[in-house]
A and B are shown apart, each in its own frame.
Chain A
């Protein structure tokens, strides 16, 4: 009898499919954690990496399975929602995880890092990010955010012998905890203002106000939530941690945490701002976008450390992406949302690729990360230099690469919304940005190498990761059509 009540209170079986990728990844993460202590330490790295890879691939397969229309809809008492929108972000997170695992393989051996928890944490982080993109309830979003954040705090400190890595981890942890506290505070205020933590109910409550307004409490709530989320995507003025953490953290981890959690947080922002009818969002976003682009780009101009340079560049890119969020309450956000999704995918491909190259060149202990170390790379390793150049050109936004269309859609969105000021700031910034990316290319191609020794050959795992991200970067730049078609369709079903 008691057994039956328990069974009745359980959610229906279909609900589990709606969190299938998260389940799969969690199981694999736990397997890795359990196997790690019983395996021989010297040989465990490759095996555990292999299991992690299989796990991530299984997560990807689960996402594909989940993407069938029959599974779309709410689950777990309207806490998560599977639709084309969340499936897209699941896919991005899974793909990034695969790429990062592939590029970590050799890196871990070179850096002599113990592998067990590393791969486990990567998978757990991915679980949090996936859950973030399908959660439609603020408390669950908070939990997912914490799952993802705590994994990345630890991952940032994985080069234990290096002081800056530990510094990065502590800094990230302390500041990140403040930021999530702000988010939680915002959630509480939202609850006070609308009586619910479900985003759709909040949207209904706030939708009654004309012209995207709301009670004062909701304004403050949105602002506080934005502090927390803005911190995670490294949007100015909550970006201060970024360069230090990116400099200290292991390069593949930086590739991971500069793309996958950002994608997930942007998905949350889409839901909170648009579905939640957040009041005052346009100006909030306007200021954050303008600041992020300008601060990121200006600071990047003077960097001599490639990792710091790319850190500032990622702040700037968060700024470009935020432009697409600046949609007036009375107009339809659908175009903006597909621009956001496209940008997320393109940025993930090129940035993971760029950091994979950086990680490979850095050598043991990440010694070679200054601009000087890249001089004459075209002579020492022509292939790697060419690949890196393509990623950088894509980051500049040169036609024929994904970054171009990504920026283009975002700017087109600003023009459509008549935000000419933001548009002009954006285009001026993207011109400024071309300088510092170009500096790297110039150093690689037009300077003599400082030391003649050739770069270590590209290991197979890294090669596959680079090839895949390169293919996606070029594909999105030449044939953006199929992806856009998919995005447009998925946004149609979004509500």
Chain B
């Protein structure tokens, strides 16, 4: 392993924050600040491309590892590394951030510098969550994402932004302290925060009192992740946060932040507590199914475009949780793929909604209608992303949902049946929304004169649209890295694999 391979994760993680700190000292010239932020996020993106290019796809273990001691007592290490699960989430983060910068170019005009500083610091926090292999480091980054996100919502949001920011902060903060308690318990028993060490200690049965505590530890981690996902019934913070957040905040919130929860379930709940995961899978899957159907039904009746997309996220993330707790190879692969696809398509939808908001300052669906006439390019992009989100074959949404549902069928047939209705629902609410916004006559005078997309906005949307297509056509590019890692997770549950095979 050469030097770059060892330090690349550190670079990718801290380039944005370093850029943010530099930005802080730049003079307040908004134009230069925007360009600088864009440049930093691009550098981070291109640096992160090193990861998939040099990633050994057939291997299941952690790669690009760095492990050095940070604090001696308690035994905290700066231990980072990625496997097929976290690889794509890192790239997703670095991919979406430049688009966020582009989409915020004009819509943020007050306190511009602080906005981009927060955005870049948030990016570092998000990447840090995905690459940390030390539980302490993980918790550190996990909490560190809270502040920039809450400030982005609370300072730059719309209407009831303060309420939404505080609600977001409190929900996730309260939930994550239970994870802290569980982490501390593990540390007290194993003397280490290292994920790999703890995992092997648990597997070899070397942790005292583990059997009696495991269910509580599982729940401690699970509650933190379930609120972040958000799994029904912990979802109530999400619509508020999304509706009030600025566009870039929504994109990162839906695109990446929610995936912290599902990533955590995959990595920590399944990785550290396979038995308990299996024992609890029944009710978790039911909650996920409720989330799929409930999220979709509520989305259907939303008069507000952004709220509709927010509830559709709850529905889509339900698929991810269902896939994870189906404990099948295809279910887990699908869950990973839905995470990525949802990041692209919902990120795209939020950008599109934000573009409309910049022009009309409203998200109310009833304010629009017939927009296809004044904004042809915009409506084409919108349709494309909507179709990707609905799960049209050859676009990215389809692959993931298909894999999840086939995994769910293998686990329990009725899970698959109920889950599959979610695909129909998503067609209903998204296409109906599309119809109400873009087709028919232009009902409001001011909508006649709406500008179509400018070059900058197209620059922000093209990558998302292209990715939606490429991921749909050539999913193997992603899946062949995901598959071994997922296999590795499942390998810890031999009794379950046997069960699935015997069915």
Give me the interface of A with B, judged by CB distance under 8 Å: 335, 338, 393, 398-400, 408-409, 411-412, 414-416, 418, 420, 423-424, 427-428, 430-432, 434-435, 438-439, 442, 445-447, 480-481, 484-485, 488
Contact partner of A415 among B70, B151, B161, B184, CB < 8 A?
B184
What is the distance, in angstroms, from B427's C-beta to the closest C-beta of chain A? 39
In contact, A438 and B178 (Cβ under 8 angstroms): no
B287 CB contacts on chain A under 8 angstroms: none
In contact, A400 and B71 (Cβ under 8 angstroms): no
The total of interchain contacts (Cβ-Cβ below 8 angstroms) comes to 79
In the complex, B177 has a CB within 8 A of chain A: yes
In contact, B154 and A481 (Cβ under 8 angstroms): no
Residue of B nearest to A445 (CB): B155
What is the distance, in angstroms, from B372's C-beta to the closest C-beta of chain A? 38
26 residue pairs A–B, Cβ–Cβ below 8 Å: A335-B73, A398-B143, A398-B147, A399-B140, A409-B74, A412-B188, A415-B187, A415-B188, A418-B188, A423-B184, A423-B185, A427-B178, A427-B180, A427-B181, A428-B177, A431-B170, A431-B177, A432-B174, A435-B166, A442-B154, A446-B154, A446-B161, A447-B162, A481-B71, A484-B71, A484-B72
Residue of B nearest to A446 (CB): B162
Contact partner of A434 among B144, B170, B178, CB < 8 A?
B170
**How many angstroms between the C-alpha atoms of A446 and B154 in the bound complex?**
7
Contact partner of A416 among B165, B174, B181, B188, CB < 8 A?
B188
B169 CB contacts on chain A under 8 angstroms: 434, 438
With contacts A412-B74, A442-B166, A445-B154 known, is A399 near B143, CB below 8 A?
A: yes
8 additional A-B residue pairs with CB within 8 Å, beyond A442-B162, A446-B165, A484-B71:
A412-B74, A415-B185, A427-B181, A430-B177, A438-B169, A439-B166, A442-B154, A442-B165
List the 7 closest A-B pairs by CB distance, nearest first: A427-B177, A415-B188, A415-B184, A431-B174, A416-B188, A431-B177, A399-B140
| Contact pattern, B 389-401, Cβ under 8 Å of A = 1, otherwise 0 | 0000000000000
A438 CB contacts on chain B under 8 angstroms: 166, 169-170
B177 CB contacts on chain A under 8 angstroms: 427-428, 430-431
Give me the interface of B with A, judged by CB distance under 8 Å: 70-74, 139-140, 143-144, 146-147, 151, 154-155, 161-162, 165-166, 169-170, 173-174, 177-178, 180-181, 184-185, 187-188
**How many angstroms between the C-alpha atoms of A438 and B185 in the bound complex?**
28
Q: Which of A399, A400, A420, A484 gathers the greatest number of chain B CB atoms within 10 Å?
A: A399
B140 CB contacts on chain A under 8 angstroms: 399
B181 CB contacts on chain A under 8 angstroms: 411, 415, 420, 423-424, 427
Residue of A nearest to B154 (CB): A446
**How many angstroms between the C-alpha atoms of A435 and B173 in the bound complex?**
9
**How many angstroms between the C-alpha atoms of A398 and B162 in the bound complex?**
20
B74 CB contacts on chain A under 8 angstroms: 408-409, 412
In contact, A412 and B184 (Cβ under 8 angstroms): yes
B147 CB contacts on chain A under 8 angstroms: 393, 398
What is the distance, in angstroms, from A2's C-beta to the closest C-beta of chain B? 56
A447 CB contacts on chain B under 8 angstroms: 162
Contact partner of A480 among B71, B162, B184, CB < 8 A?
B71
**How many angstroms between the C-alpha atoms of A439 and B155 in the bound complex?**
14
What is the distance, in angstroms, from A153's C-beta to the closest C-beta of chain B? 38
**How many angstroms between the C-alpha atoms of A461 and B188 in the bound complex?**
44
With contacts A411-B180, A434-B169 known, is A481 near B72, CB below 8 A?
A: yes
Residue of B nearest to A338 (CB): B73
What is the distance, in angstroms, from B135's C-beta to the closest C-beta of chain A? 12
With contacts A400-B144, A442-B165 known, is A485 near B72, CB below 8 A?
A: yes
B146 CB contacts on chain A under 8 angstroms: 398
**How many angstroms between the C-alpha atoms of A438 and B144 in the bound complex?**
15
**How many angstroms between the C-alpha atoms of A276 and B154 in the bound complex?**
51
**How many angstroms between the C-alpha atoms of A411 and B220 in the bound complex?**
15
Residue of A nearest to B151 (CB): A445
Residue of B nearest to A411 (CB): B184
**How many angstroms between the C-alpha atoms of A428 and B176 in the bound complex?**
10
Q: Which of A409, A411, A416, A427 gathers the greatest number of chain B CB atoms within 10 Å?
A: A427
What is the distance, in angstroms, from A340's C-beta to the closest C-beta of chain B? 14
Q: Which of B70, B147, B177 gathers the greatest number of chain A CB atoms within 10 Å?
A: B177
What is the distance, in angstroms, from A145's C-beta to the closest C-beta of chain B? 32
What is the distance, in angstroms, from B388's C-beta to the closest C-beta of chain A? 36
B72 CB contacts on chain A under 8 angstroms: 481, 484-485
Residue of B nearest to A412 (CB): B184
**How many angstroms between the C-alpha atoms of A292 and B146 in the bound complex?**
27
**How many angstroms between the C-alpha atoms of A445 and B147 in the bound complex?**
13
**How many angstroms between the C-alpha atoms of A442 and B162 in the bound complex?**
7
A435 CB contacts on chain B under 8 angstroms: 166, 170
With contacts A435-B170, A446-B154 known, is A484 near B165, CB below 8 A?
A: no
**How many angstroms between the C-alpha atoms of A430 and B140 in the bound complex?**
15
**How many angstroms between the C-alpha atoms of A435 and B72 in the bound complex?**
32
Q: Which of A412, A480, A481, A485 gathers the greatest number of chain B CB atoms within 10 Å?
A: A412
